Amino acid sequence: MINLEGARYPWRFRVVLAALALMVAAISWRIIDLHVIDHDFLQAHGDARSVRHIPIPAHRGLITDRNGEPLAVSTPVTTLWANGKELSKAPERWADLARVLGQEPKGFAQRLQQSSEREFMYLVRGLTPEQGQAVLDLKVPGVYGIEEFRRFYPAGDVTAHVIGFTDVDDKGREGMELAFDEWLAGVPGKRQVLKDRRGRLIKDVQVSRNAKAGKTLALSIDLRLQYLAHRELRNALIENGAKAGSLVIVDVKTGEVLAMSNQPTYNPNNRRNLLPAAMRNRAMIDVFEPGSTVKPLSMSAALETGRWKPSNMVEVWPGSLQIGRYTIKDVSKTEGRVLDLTGILINSSNVGMSKVAFDIGGEAIHDLMAKLGFGQDTGLGFPGERVGNLPSHREWRQAETATLSYGYGVSVTAVQLAHAYATLANNGRAVPLSMTRVDNKPEGVQVLPEDVAKTMQGMLQQVVEAPRGVYRAQVPGYHVSGKSGTARKASVGTKGYTENAYRSLFAGFAPSGNPRFAMVVVIDEPSKAGYFGGLVSAPVFSKVMGGTLRLMNITPDNLPPALDPGAAGKTVAVSGQGGQR
């Protein structure tokens, strides 16, 4: 049969043939282009279906004390994960897998059934490499391992509040781990591998980017002093039936925090039964009215005005002072009707301190406290640190002036109080506090005249060494300076104070002749032998300061005079004659 249409319109046939020829030519050219010229295109698409990048975990930076002792280290661990779709095809292996993982078979099987459609699920994290390899050796379909790092804290609960901890993903969550997370965290690397469509590893191609380890962080903490503070603070809480406590040691020359201990504490290596209250770094977070420990600061403000000298006398009889409806009372009976300024500190006279404060005004005391850092951030950068409260008034009435002068109406942290005493000990020069090791001594700022600070150092030495002084704070072989304090605890949620709830305080520094270390001890709600700072906190100061001075090789400045050997022999002979009589 003859195709009349084709013969009638021959040009249409030719157009179709030309179009087909062009299509064949285009396809042929594209094939040649992809396989010879632009072969990267096919390779890229092939790689997209088979090439994968596996992250290489980065080693988190080491945290050490000032002497290089490790406080936080990273150890390699294995994390096991599973492809639920693959694992669901081998239910006969679930019991073996549960046994090796130490899990209850029935509950483990239910978990796998619920995740049977998921391509990724964690089985267990943080196994030792040996434990992880034992599971992988079972060769259960769909079970894989990832190399990770886990944080370990060699000092445990001793440094927990300072160091903090990391979460399961090795991110800082508390303490210095959080404050310096960017510094400590490394940069993960990448490894290029080939996998099939089921996600199984075919070939380890290359490391496309090396992991970069985190940087080392050297803290100002001295682990020896930290252990000493931890032990004595814990013993003090047990002996006094106290609720909590804090202790801070500061190097007065460099501003380094050498020890910071809190009770109760916790073990960052095992946080399964962790109570939130135990996580609080009370030295940084808890604010309190410092009571009589601020009287030396108020007295310094009086000396700075030039209106007062240590020998000036103040009448304190009869031990109370009426201001409108408000009565100021001395807790203990003083030595006499009148006291000099040192006697006011020794006897901790609220009446005497108030009368001095009335003369110089509340603003003078407020300004000095502000210079010493009250009501301000310490600059340590510690997560959750509080600044306390330093009240300011347009007009300072007598009641407000009096309460400020002997430590009420103002709230501070233990670290702020330690910084203030460190400034007194450093001849009135304030240096910034630091939680990291300081290699170059800072200049500091003169916030109190040097002669005033030195006068106050001598006065505080008498507070400890005078016959009516806080003798429990004395350190054998050394002159020490300090002041005790006892403050009622403010009630939570209501105005006023909680009945029979006190904080026992002691703040001081040593050795008095050339101060090196300042220390603050806070004991919260002692309930056994008493609650006065000179009774509860002063003995802790004595033990820890004594140990600190010896560990740091500070030369004693209060040793008894050496006896002449000849004189000693004569004395023995006379004594022997007396004994024969």
Q: List average pLDDT for each run of 10 residues in the chain, which is 581 residues long.
A: 57 81 82 67 56 72 96 90 83 87 86 83 85 87 84 95 92 94 85 62 62 90 98 97 97 98 95 88 96 97 96 94 90 86 96 97 97 95 94 93 95 98 98 96 94 97 96 97 94 78 97 97 94 97 98 93 54 36 34
The Cα–Cα gap between 417 and 433 comes to 12
d(CA 333, CA 356): 19
Classify burial at 273, counting beta carbons within 10 Å of its beta carbon; exposed 0-12, middle 13-18, buried 19 or more.
Answer: exposed
- Mapping DSSP to helix (H, G, I), strand (E, B) and coil, where does residue 478 land? strand
**CA dihedral in degrees (138, 141, 146, 147; nearest 10)?**
20
Cα three-residue angle 415-258-422, rounded to 5 degrees: 50
Whether 257 and 242 share a structural domain: yes
Do the beta carbons of residue 483 and residue 418 sit within 8 Å? Answer: no
SS3 percent helix, strand, coil of the chain, rounded to 5, is: 40, 25, 35
- Beta pairing partners, 193: 52, 204
Q: Show the tokens assigned to 546.
A: 């004594």
Does any domain span residue 19? no
Does 170 map to a domain?
yes
Element at 234 (helix H, strand E): helix 223-240
Same domain, 506 and 530: yes
Helix (H) / strand (E) element for 520: namely strand 517-524
Does the annotation count 292 as an active-site position? yes
Contacts of 288 (CB under 8 A, 6+ apart): 411, 412, 413, 487, 489, 503, 522
Q: Are 263 and 410 part of one and the same domain?
A: yes
**Order of all β-strands in the sheet with 189-195:** 51-56, 189-195, 201-209
* 492 domain-assigned: yes
Q: For residues 504 and 526, state if they share a domain.
A: yes
Q: Are residues 257 and 283 in the same domain?
A: yes
Query: How many structural domains does the chain have?
Result: 2
Q: Output the pLDDT for position 580.
A: 34
**Bridging pattern class, strands 217-218 and 63-64:** parallel
Q: Per this entry, what is the length of the chain?
A: 581
Run of H or E residues at 189: strand 189-195
- Beta partners for 256? 434
CATH number reported for the structural domain that contains residue 412 in this entry: 3.40.710.10
Q: Are residues 447 and 529 in the same domain?
A: yes
Q: Is the same domain home to 160 and 286? A: no
- Phi, psi at 133, each rounded to 5°: -70, -35
Residue in the block written with tokens 């030792």:
128
| Nearest in space to 331 (alpha carbons), one of 480, 523, 462, 484 | 484
Element holding 106 (H helix, E strand) = helix 105-114
State the Cα–Cα distance between residues 352 and 362, nearest whole angstrom. Answer: 15
Q: 155, 124, 470, 152: which is closest to 295 by C-alpha? A: 470
If asked whether residues 69 and 190 sit together in one domain, one would say yes
Indicate whether 566 belongs to any domain. no
Name the residue range of residue 123's domain.
53-218
Q: How many CB atoms lie within 10 A of CB 377?
A: 13
Residues 521, 382 share a domain? yes
Q: How far does CA 546 lie from the centroid of its chain?
A: 24
Q: In the 3-class helix/strand/coil scheme, how is 107-161 assigned residue by residue?
A: HHHHHHHHCCCCCCEEEEEEECHHHHHHHHCCCCCCEEEEEEEEEECCCHHHCHH
For residue 114, being part of any structural domain is answered with yes
Residues 400, 285 share a domain: yes
Examine the domain organization and report whether 60 and 164 are in the same domain: yes
Contact between residue 341 and residue 459 where contact means Cβ atoms under 8 Å apart: yes
pLDDT per residue as tens digits for the range 294-334: 999 999 999 999 999 999 999 999 999 999 888 999 988 87
H runs (alpha helix) in 372-507: 398-405, 414-425, 450-465
Q: How far apart are CA 164 and CA 173, in angstroms?
A: 7
H/E run at residue 356: helix 350-360
359 found inside a domain: no
> Which of 218, 234, 256 is the last residue in one of the domains?
218
Asked if residue 18 belongs to a domain, the reply is: no
- Domain containing residue 100: CATH number: 3.90.1310.10
In a domain, 319, yes or no: no
Which pLDDT belongs to residue 578? 36
Q: What is the pLDDT of residue 122?
A: 86
Strand, coil or helix: what is 268? coil
Q: What is the DSSP letter of 372?
A: T
| Catalytic residue selected from 88, 115, 220, 292 | 292
Same domain, 202 and 288: no
Q: Where are the beta strands (DSSP E) in 426-513?
A: 429-430, 445-446, 481-490, 497-510
Q: 445-446 and 326-329: which strand pairing? A: unpaired
pTM: 0.83
Structure tokens, 509: 């520094």
d(CA 119, CA 123): 12
The H-or-E segment that residue 195 falls in is strand 189-195
Beta carbons of 422 and 249 less than 8 angstroms apart: no
